[in-house]
């Protein structure tokens, strides 16, 4: 019997009654942390309700409560007019609530079809029935997937669509979408947007949409609730708001608008070359790239998912042992290893912070001191705990990390605060070059501004910075020049002050490229000459 068939009977809804109502929902954890302070929330059929807030504001806790993963400490949930208490996500799902998480919990070794109907308790004997239901889902959503494809072979955008199919396959009436576009390219985001509109307008589903992208919130949602420090500080119709007002409500302060950096001064070429790449390549991943980055310079890397952006940073850092070519730091050739890179002064903040940037079982203080233990060690070999904790406390203060103490596990931090720890750990090392891979992905507008300002501070201190971002407007705000990658090749270079987000999107998407793109890719992307356009 399928999950849908097991759904418990519910009373009929009355007109204008919210599908779900949260009344003064509160949550205090056993360690004393107050995550929610009495939140009210109405979610209606046929509408997209935006749930916004800074990292640590309480969004994830609220989602876990309404989806049955956490019990509330106070208040109540009213579902279709009746108070409910769900003891598990499965129970909530059986009643009609489906949650699509930011990190999509699919089984990569199973097919698309098997993942979509993974929650069904029946045996896999009725393949034809499942295939028919799958085809109907494709018609409803207006998107086609190969039911026999392995999930491991799909793009991130396709996996997101599998999660949407999975939610609809349970017969869900309320679909909670937690950062559904955070890791998607522009084209994939548009597919998700159209799907959300179709589900709300045509199928009259209720959508709770969590996002840090203010432009998509304004364009997609009907109303919003904004959380700050566990309380709802704003509930309004989206049509009455703009991005600036939303940003201020999220952060509790006016957000600094970052203008483009000024064109480099005439003496910029006199700054020493810190990092030099000579024909750096990796078979099947990265075509030869030559590049020079000077002290105090920020170089942006623009491109879509799969363009080779992360592969370039990993090759520079020595994480790609198959890479060929040369990486030179202050004139010295580096051997191909991450240990040699760190020792020489390279710092990498990877895109996947929990798997590659942090040690999840360690506290903040252990993570913060890992790259430079000598500075907190007795006679440079025996780490002193008190020194490590003091350094972590300094990092918490400098980057305004929201944490109970340096003793807190990094897994207990919000996404934005965990990201700040991945950056903080390099601030106390002797890093000369910072490689930042999507440093603002999945974090709130206030934390984004803080990190982008930090990038500028690093450059002002004479550090060389290479930053990858899917948000091209961020690259324009912090970079002197921007390299555009596509299909593992560097296909163009642009001075940040002389280009636009529109041009970068066209170049990255292959819709239009300047005549000198191939020339720039061949090595002029390395230079700081007057030939920049």
Q: List, in order, residues 6 or more apart from 139 with CB less than 8 Å away.
A: none
DSSP string, 146-204: -TTSBGGGS-HHHHHHHHHHHHHHTT-SEEEEESTTTT--HHHHHHHHHHHHHHHHTS-
Average pLDDT over residues 278-306: 92
Query: Domains of the chain by range and CATH?
Result: 3-251 (3.40.50.300), 271-345+432-533 (3.40.50.300), 355-430 (no CATH)
Rounded Cα distance, 413 and 358, in Å = 12
pLDDT mean over 58-67: 92
Reported as a pLDDT band with limits 50, 70 and 90, residue 467 is very high
Checking if the pLDDT of 54 tops 80, the result is: no
Tokens 């409500």 label which residue? 249
DSSP 354: I
Q: What does the buried/exposed string (b/e) look like for 112-148 if buried means 16 or more CB atoms within 10 Å of the residue's CB? A: bbbbbbebbeeeeeeeeebeebbeebeeebebebebe
Rounded Cα distance between 208 and 212, Å, is: 14
Per residue in 390-408, pLDDT tens? 999 998 988 888 888 899 9
Of the listed ranges 189-198, 258-267, 331-340, 417-426, the one predicted with least confidence: 258-267
Q: What is the pLDDT of residue 513?
A: 45
pLDDT of 437 > 60? The answer is yes
Percent of the chain surpassing pLDDT 90 = 42
pTM assigned to the model: 0.63
pLDDT of 446: 75
pLDDT of residue 7: 45
Say what the pLDDT of residue 493 is.
94
User: H or E stretch including 339?
Assistant: helix 338-344
Confidence category of residue 276, pLDDT binned at 50, 70, 90: very high
Task: State the pLDDT at residue 126.
Answer: 62
Which is more confidently placed, 328 or 378?
A: 328
The whole-chain average pLDDT of the chain stands at 84
Q: At what angle do helices 415-427 and 445-460 cross, to 10 degrees?
A: 10
Residue 324 pLDDT level (bands cut at 50, 70, 90): very high
* C-alpha to C-alpha distance for 401 and 520, rounded to whole angstroms: 40
Q: What is the mean pLDDT of residues 186-206?
A: 86
CA distance 378 to 394: 19
Q: Which pLDDT score is estimated for 512?
A: 52
Alpha helices, H only, 464-525: 472-478, 501-509, 517-521
Which of 153-162, 165-174, 275-284, 482-491 has the least mean pLDDT? Answer: 153-162
């Amino acid at each position: 019997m399928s999950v849908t068939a097991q759904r418990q009977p519910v009373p009929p809804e009355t007109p204008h009654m919210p599908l779900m109502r949260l009344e003064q929902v509160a949550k205090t954890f056993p360690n004393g942390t107050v995550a929610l302070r009495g939140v009210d929330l109405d979610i209606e059929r046929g509408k997209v309700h935006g749930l916004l807030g800074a990292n640590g504001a309480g969004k994830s806790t609220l989602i876990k409560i309404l989806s049955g993963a956490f019990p509330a400490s106070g208040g109540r949930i009213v579902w279709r007019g009746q108070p409910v208490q769900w003891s598990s996500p499965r129970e909530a799902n059986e009643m009609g609530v489906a949650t699509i998480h930011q990190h999509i919990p699919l089984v990569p070794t199973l097919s698309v079809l098997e993942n979509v109907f993974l929650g069904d308790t029946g045996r896999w004997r009725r393949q034809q029935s499942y295939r028919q239901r799958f085809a109907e889902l494709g018609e409803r959503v207006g998107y086609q997937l190969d039911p026999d494809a392995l999930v491991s072979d799909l793009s991130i955008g396709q996996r997101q669509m599998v999660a949407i199919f999975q939610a609809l396959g349970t017969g869900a009436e309320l679909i909670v979408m937690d950062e559904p576009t955070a890791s998607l390219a522009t084209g994939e985001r548009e597919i998700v947007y159209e799907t959300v509109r179709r589900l709300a307008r045509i199928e009259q589903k209720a959508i709770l949409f969590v996002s840090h992208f203010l432009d998509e919130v304004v364009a997609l949602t009907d109303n919003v609730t904004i959380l700050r420090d566990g309380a709802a500080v704003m509930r309004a119709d989206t049509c009455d708001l703009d991005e600036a007002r939303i940003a201020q409500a999220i952060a509790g302060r006016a957000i600094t608008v970052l203008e483009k950096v000024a064109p480099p001064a005439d003496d910029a070429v006199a700054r020493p070359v810190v990092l030099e790449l000579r024909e750096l390549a990796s078979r099947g991943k990265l075509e030869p790239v030559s590049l020079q980055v000077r002290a105090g310079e920020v170089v942006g890397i623009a491109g879509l998912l799969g363009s080779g952006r992360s592969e370039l940073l990993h090759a520079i850092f020595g994480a790609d042992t198959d890479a060929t070519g040369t990486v030179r730091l202050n004139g010295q050739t580096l051997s191909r290893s991450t240990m040699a890179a760190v020792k020489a002064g390279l710092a990498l903040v990877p895109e996947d912070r929990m798997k590659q940037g942090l040690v999840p079982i360690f506290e903040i203080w252990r993570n913060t001191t890992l790259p430079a233990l000598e500075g907190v060690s007795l006679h440079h070999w025996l780490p002193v705990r008190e020194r490590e904790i003091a350094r972590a406390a300094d990092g918490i203060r400098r980057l305004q990390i929201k944490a109970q103490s340096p003793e807190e596990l990094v897994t207990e931090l919000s996404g934005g605060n965990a990201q700040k720890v991945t950056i903080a750990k390099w601030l106390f090392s002797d890093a000369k070059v910072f490689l930042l891979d999507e440093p603002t992905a999945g974090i709130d507008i206030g934390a984004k501004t803080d990190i982008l300002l930090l990038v500028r501070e690093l450059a002002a201190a004479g550090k060389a910075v290479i930053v990858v971002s899917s948000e091209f407007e961020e690259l324009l705000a912090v970079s002197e020049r921007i390299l555009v990658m596509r299909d593992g090749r560097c296909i163009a270079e642009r001075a940040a002050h002389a280009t636009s987000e529109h041009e970068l999107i066209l170049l990255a998407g292959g819709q239009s490229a300047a005549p000198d793109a191939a020339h720039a890719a061949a090595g002029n992307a390395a230079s700081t000459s007057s030939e920049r356009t």
